[in-house]
Structure 1
């Protein structure tokens, strides 16, 4: 297969992460478009990407681009993904896939109709010990799942003067904390347990009505009680106002035989608990479920960018006809939109909400075109 030819929409932090992962996967970094030609030129130079594009339409219709990475503010994701899909491009779209269920469903349908691949970076799936935890659940070593305790805590919006475009609902969407990081927690929960959330009850809190003089209409904190298929119950806490927590994603599940705990800030470790005693297992390339995700020997720490690199490598493998296990696709992006919508509905109406996703059109399992 010839190298994947990648284009990028957006020139900020996530574009840097995506471009590093694309480079690691052997792609050619062809072009980048941003909010203006000047910003595109600056970002392309900074990130080592071939050329700036004057606007989105120029990039998505370029004949020398196979896959478009959408790394722009949330409100633009669906529109830009649809434009790329209409041009026959494969798409890697930052989450949220869309700021509404309807738009997310439209993106899924468009990818299926175009016969191209779409992926959403729920990259915490790509920590090797997460795959080990998933395998332990799947093989029955944990027993029947009884309860879940999960959290995703950050502190970067702790004070009223802290702000970001995500705090503007017109850019970030009706949900901020939950759509931004709670979606990762729920994806990790469903991925590791193999069970869907079927109902939830949520409360949200907006601590500061204004940030840096601008009105805030989306939440800082979300607390959610969930029920899973099979009857397990869980509590999830999501906050961007937790002092000292930079990226505190934690998933702990309790089965009838064992408990498991993964903490992203200590991503080389998996805690396994039982009534007879507990153990802390360190990442090992030979562990069950690893399937080659360990890029370096045991004792050489891996982290977030390594997980992202694994995700992009899998997304590109689909373009050559592969079906990588665990790749998060547009269907998973739609799932996140459905759960986010249920959280907002529950918080607004102060009631339990069923999370029964409306069936979406099937996604194309592989590319309809060969790369040239």
Structure 2
């Protein structure tokens, strides 16, 4: 059995909850230790999940009892825990973003380049059946990609009466909707369609500029929404990310052999419009009906399987830290473009 440690238990139903369910569902792993800065909260969390594991008083203590670490702490602490896992020679999975500052992302990637253990970044939307089917269609039928359009976001924070949260504070979260939602879209563009970008332009804005914090109206420090376009050797991508009003993941890909659309609003199907590579669209439209998969639970089950596969040296669909750095470099260039008003080059 692979011994897993969970760092950052947080809420009873949070990211660590889905990690745990996925690991237990797989059967190859045992959660042997957990750590959270709130030790009483960690004990309660472990009990709620029926775990007979060690509740540790420090991260270093936890490392003595595990082979691999799942890092589910707030964004600002991702890099530090990942570097400590590397130093201890442990496999790790860190939730995105791998760090808040681009310099720390680069530092972590450099450390992983000399590292012989599994390193993975949590881009969970890769593991939806709809995304897997779309990837297959691109490879087998569409071929060369022309354009990719996508959006992703949420609606909860459209309410201005919601108090200031950690995700609205730059030193704790980094960018806002651009990083929170845009990161998944940039990763999906590469994973589904093989699009990797070298230049980006972007507009970003904060529409609810102040929120209550402890009875005082306090500035929101990052973007509520962003729209960006990007270009690379394999076509053009256009994106919208918003935390103040946007539907679930939608991706539209066009290319030499046709067009496809997936929406995680309706994750049981993917639509493909047929086109002859040397001609036009034929009029044929195929609806791919997919096996049922519960959103979040099913995706995390597949992601944890991929993590354990990688630890065992098997092929894995997980994104490694090098991919995580690429995504953050694209988003960093997008944020620079939103400030400069000019197209910015991606550092990688």
TM-score when normalising by structure 2 = 0.90
Give the drift of 1:57: 2.6
Corresponding position: 1:320 with 2:323: no
Specify which structure has the higher proportion of strand: 2
Conserved? CA contact 1:121–1:308, under 8 Å: no
Secondary structure class of the residue paired with 1:212: strand
Residue 333 of structure 2 corresponds to residue 342 of structure 1: yes
Unaligned runs of 5+ in 1: 284-297, 358-372
> Which residue of 1 is the match for residue 221 of structure 2?
217
**Do 1:210 and 1:216's aligned partners in 2 also have CA atoms closer than 8 Å?**
yes
Cα deviation for residue 356 of structure 1 reads: 4.2
How much has 1:143 moved relative to structure 2?
A: 4.5
Alignment counterpart, residue 34 of structure 1, candidates 36, 44, 49 = 36
* Residue matched to 1:44: 46
Q: Deviations over 1:169-188 (max 9, x none)?
A: 22112x12121111001111
Q: Helix, strand or coil: the match of 1:309? A: helix
Query: Which SS does the other structure have where 1:279 is aligned?
Result: strand
- Cα distance change on mapping 1:21 and 1:81 into 2, 3 Å: same
Write out aligned runs for 1:284-303 (5 A). Answer: 298=291, 300-303=292-295
Tell me the equivalent position of 1:234.
Answer: 237
Query: Aligned runs of 1:91-110 on 2, under 5 Å?
Result: 91-110=92-111
Q: Alpha-carbon deviations, 1:150-192, whole Å to 9, x = none?
A: 100211211222243211222112x121211110011111111
CA distance, structure 2, for counterparts of residue 205 and residue 166 of structure 1: 15
2-structure distance, mates of 1:331, 1:310: 21
Q: Distance in 2 between matches of 1:262 and 1:234?
A: 15
- What's the counterpart of residue 367 of structure 1? none
1:183 and 1:15 map into 2 onto residues whose CA distance is 20
Return the offset for 1:78: 0.2
TM-score by length of 1: 0.84
Contact 1:36–1:54 (CA under 8 A) maintained in structure 2: no
Shift of 1:80: 0.9
Contact 1:145 1:255 in 2 (8 A): yes
The residue aligned with 1:137 is: 138
Question: Is 1:329–2:330 an aligned residue pair?
Answer: no
Shift of 1:113: 2.9
Alpha-carbon distance, 1:323 to partner: 2.7
> What is the CA distance between 1:250 and its match in structure 2?
0.6
- After superposition, give the CA deviation of every residue in 1:33-72 in whole Å (9 maximum; x if it has no partner): 112222222222223331321122322x32x201111101
Check conservation: 2:100, 2:171, Cα contact below 8 A: no
Structure-2 separation of matches of 1:112 and 1:228 = 24
Structure-1 separation of matches of 2:109 and 2:49: 30
1:289-337 per-residue CA deviation (whole Å, 9 max, x = no partner) reads xxxxxxxxx4x4443221211111111122222232x321111111121
> Which is worse superposed, 28-37 or 14-23?
28-37
Paired residue for 2:68? Answer: 67
Report what 2:278 is aligned to: none
1:246-265 pair list within 5 angstroms: 248-265=248-265
User: Is 1:153 aligned to 2:158, yes or no?
Assistant: no
How far apart are the structure 2 equivalents of 1:31 and 1:304?
24
Secondary structure of the residue aligned to 1:203 is strand
Tell me how far apart the structure 1 counterparts of residues 208 and 227 of structure 2 sit (CA, whole Å): 17
| Structure 2: gaps (5+ residues) | 275-280
How many matched pairs? 331
